[in-house]
Amino acid sequence: MKYIAYLAFAFGFSSVLAGSYEDFFRAVHGNDPAAVKALVARGFDPNAPDPRGQPALMRALDAGADEVALTLARLPGTDVNVQNPAGETPLMKAAMKGNIALCEALIERGADINRPGWTPLHYAAAGDSLPALRLLITEGAAVDARAPNGRTPLMMAALYADESLVEALLAAGADVRAREKDGAAAADLAGVGGREWLAEKLAERAGGTPAGR
DSSP 2-52: HHHHHHHHHH---HHHHHHHHHHHHHHHTT-HHHHHHHHHTT--TT-B-TT
- What is the percent of the chain where pLDDT is above 90? 86
Identify the pLDDT of residue 118.
98
Identify the pLDDT of residue 213.
46
**Looking at the predicted structure, is the pLDDT value of residue 187 above 70?**
yes
- What is the percent of the chain where pLDDT is above 70? 88
**Looking at the predicted structure, is the pLDDT value of residue 212 above 80?**
no
Identify the pLDDT of residue 209.
55
Q: Is the model more confident about 168 or about 16?
A: 168
**CATH for 1-79 (2.60.40, 1.25.40, 1.10.260, 1.20.950):** 1.25.40
**Looking at the predicted structure, is the pLDDT value of residue 13 above 90?**
no
- Report angle CA 178, 148, 142 to the nearest 5 degrees: 55
* Res. 207 pLDDT band, cuts 50 70 90: confident
Mean pLDDT (the chain) is 91
Q: Please state whether the predicted TM-score (pTM) of the whole model is above 0.85.
A: yes
CA distance 144 to 150: 10
Domain edges within the chain: 1-79, 88-213
**CATH for 88-213 (3.20.10.10, 1.10.150.20, 3.20.20.10, 1.25.40.20):** 1.25.40.20
Contact 44, 20 (CB under 8 A): yes
**Looking at the predicted structure, is the pLDDT value of residue 14 above 80?**
no
Question: 1-79 with 88-213: one CATH topology?
Answer: yes
CA 16 vs. chain centroid, Å, equals: 34
